[in-house]
Structure 1
Amino acid sequence: MNRKFLLWAMAFVVICPALFGVGYWVWWDQVQRYAPVTIASPTDAAAITSLLTRADYVSPDFQKDVLTTGPASGITTAVTKPVDKRWVYLVTYRDCAPCRAYEDVEFPRLQAGGVETRIVAFAREDNGNVKQSTPEERSTIAELWLNRSWLLYQQWRNAAPEAWKAENIAVADNDLARSGVVWASRDFINQLAPLLRNSKVNVAYPIVIWRNKNNELRVCSCASNKAYHFIREDLGLPGDLETDVKDLLHLPKNLMPFGSETSASSSSSSLAPAPGLSADKDYGPGAAPSSF
């Protein structure tokens, strides 16, 4: 066995594991680290499902029924009920930029695939003396949880934070009941986060929750667009190869064909009023203040 062969054998023994290690690290860093988590514990899955069921989310697919308490009462009550279809929950707060990015990019795709997109908005708790929500935000959160208005959510989301005055919405800070609703939105997070951490979910926003084709409860902390395609794959929706590859490889926009990118502003169609909800409460200027 000559010396040259031994050198090549030694190089092979050293280089191949190194290349394998580098390849595995790149795969993990660019793909697998963004993969969603399956909630394997039946107890935790049931607790999370219960929380989602009890949370007052908003959705363009929510339907309204008008019921009466009896023929002699003359009292009618507008109630809402969810549509029987696949769903994706997105847990968000007012100024969450990754949450807005997920809505802009993925909501149109999910809705086109017949998936109901449900928003659970919450007001963050103060961090010591640092206020993490405004009175206008708290008032809007309370109104969203009480009246579940998709129209209000659209108006709130599409307005600049400094421009949103929460006109014609009761001030939550002046109302014990509405303040209680704000705290309920925070308690939702305080109960949800430990359940997610039990399954090794890194709690970051947006939190996206859905069930896959095997009816397993899945969770994604989708702060990166590299996680988006996993959800569509779970739901059996077609992917966008051009966008998915660009997201994974960090390709700059100027390498993509002109017109292949849809801007955030043009994706606002995902927030268009759903059929049958045009009679939603008017929260614009001149409208009557909200009550409950």
Structure 2
Amino acid sequence: MRRFFVWSALAAVLGLILAVGGYWAYQNFYARFQPVTITHNQAEIQKLMDEASWVSAGGGGEPLYIIGHRDSAAMQRYEQEEAPKLRAAGIEARFILFARPDREGLAQSTAAERATVAELWLTRDWTLYQRWTATPSNNWTGAGIPTADGNLARGAVVDAGRDFIASLSENLREEGLQPTWPLVIWRDRAGFMKACACSDTRSWVFIRDDLDAPDRVEPEGAAPPEIVYPGDGSPETLPYPTLPLAPGQAAPTTPGARPEQPAAPAGPRKAPEAKRQDDSTFF
């Protein structure tokens, strides 16, 4: 009986260890990358999205908001790799950029970045956004864009973007989501609002599955070249190699045709005549 209780206790401990390990693996490798369904603050978050200034390539379709700052490598990669897949599914990707505030007295944004963010919020210029994101951040000077530093109106626009991020982050934390960048917000096919802190690429597949977006799209202009077969167009027909012409031989007139052979003499061949020399007779 004592042995039975010992083995029962060991089995219970082993089962508990397996259950805890399985739950940890599920949370660490799967659940933490899933999007969050907004259940309490949908109206407040939707109002923030409507009031923010976003830029988009257009095209219509259901909107999906991608929020982040210029120096976010994950956001740049998401735009390059995932935005074409979303467009293929009929989704309009809308980008909202903000300039990060100072932290402990250290600036996290440049003057050129703040000026560009203010210009994008005021004009929603998609071409400017493309030029900005296509240029390395260290090389971007914001030439021709009015500065935001020392400009009361444009400085207020930069501050409004930061206030937008603060309010949005507070609402999402109440839903159990800690915002990281890019932050993606959309509505699924059933109309439920969802959000994803998509700094990890393992989160991206959940958005594609939710919106029926393809896992891969062919880049524009990547169609395979047309195959042109030689000769009569049959794949079995192969071209003849170009050979040097014999002296006096004419070049063939048809590509791939065999060189013409000299015509054989007509009629029977004449027998050789006997020739006699002093000591022998030759044919």
Alpha carbons 1:145, 1:181 under 8 Å: kept = yes
**Distance in 1 of aligned mates of 2:119 and 2:77:** 24
Partner of 2:243: none
Return the structure number with greater helix share.
1
Partner of 2:13: 14
Partner of 1:60: 57
Alpha carbons 2:88, 2:214 under 8 Å: kept = no
Partner of 1:102: 78
Partner of 2:38: 39
Distance change (3 Å), C-alpha of 1:12 and 1:118: same
Distance change (3 Å), C-alpha of 1:8 and 1:237: farther
Aligned pairs for 1:67-146 within 5 A:
83=60, 85-146=61-122
Distance change (3 Å), C-alpha of 1:27 and 1:239: farther
Alpha carbons 1:213, 1:236 under 8 Å: kept = no
Please report how far the alpha carbon of residue 239 of structure 1 lies from its aligned counterpart in structure 2 after TM superposition.
4.3
**Distance in 2 of aligned mates of 1:10 and 1:182:** 63
Partner of 1:148: 124
SS at structure 2 position matched to 1:118: strand
Please report how far the alpha carbon of residue 11 of structure 1 lies from its aligned counterpart in structure 2 after TM superposition.
4.7
Partner of 1:229: 205
Please report how far the alpha carbon of residue 210 of structure 1 lies from its aligned counterpart in structure 2 after TM superposition.
0.3
Partner of 1:28: 27
Alpha carbons 1:201, 1:221 under 8 Å: kept = yes
**Distance in 2 of aligned mates of 1:131 and 1:2:** 69
Please report how far the alpha carbon of residue 115 of structure 1 lies from its aligned counterpart in structure 2 after TM superposition.
0.7
Distance change (3 Å), C-alpha of 1:22 and 1:181: same
**Distance in 2 of aligned mates of 1:120 and 1:91:** 5
Amino acid at match of 2:53: D
Please report how far the alpha carbon of residue 24 of structure 1 lies from its aligned counterpart in structure 2 after TM superposition.
2.0
Please report how far the alpha carbon of residue 53 of structure 1 lies from its aligned counterpart in structure 2 after TM superposition.
0.8
**TM-score normalized by the length of structure 2:** 0.71
Please report how far the alpha carbon of residue 118 of structure 1 lies from its aligned counterpart in structure 2 after TM superposition.
0.5
Partner of 1:248: none
**TM-score normalized by the length of structure 1:** 0.69
List per-residue Cα deviations over 1:240-286 (Å, max 9, x = no partner): 6xxxxxxxxxxxxxxxxxxxxx9xxx98x7xxxxxxxxxxxxxxxxx
**Distance in 2 of aligned mates of 1:9 and 1:191:** 53
SS at structure 2 position matched to 1:220: strand
Please report how far the alpha carbon of residue 19 of structure 1 lies from its aligned counterpart in structure 2 after TM superposition.
2.2
Please report how far the alpha carbon of residue 10 of structure 1 lies from its aligned counterpart in structure 2 after TM superposition.
5.2
SS at structure 1 position matched to 2:95: strand
**Distance in 2 of aligned mates of 1:51 and 1:20:** 41
Aligned-residue identity in percent:
38
Please report how far the alpha carbon of residue 2 of structure 1 lies from its aligned counterpart in structure 2 after TM superposition.
10
Greater radius of gyration (CA)? 2
List per-residue Cα deviations over 1:141-161 (Å, max 9, x = no partner): 011111111111111111111
Partner of 2:235: none
Alpha carbons 2:88, 2:213 under 8 Å: kept = no
How many residue pairs are counted as aligned between the two chains? 220
Please report how far the alpha carbon of residue 23 of structure 1 lies from its aligned counterpart in structure 2 after TM superposition.
2.0
List per-residue Cα deviations over 1:91-111 (Å, max 9, x = no partner): 111101121222222112111
**Distance in 2 of aligned mates of 1:150 and 1:231:** 24
Distance change (3 Å), C-alpha of 1:114 and 1:13: same
Q: Extract structure 1 runs of 4+ deviating beyond 6 A.
A: 5-8
Amino acid at match of 1:53: D
Matched, 1:49 2:74: no
Alpha carbons 1:89, 1:210 under 8 Å: kept = yes
RMSD: 2.3
Partner of 1:180: 156
Partner of 2:196: 220
Matched, 1:191 2:190: no
Which runs of no fewer than 5 residues in structure 1 stay unpaired? 63-82, 241-261, 270-292
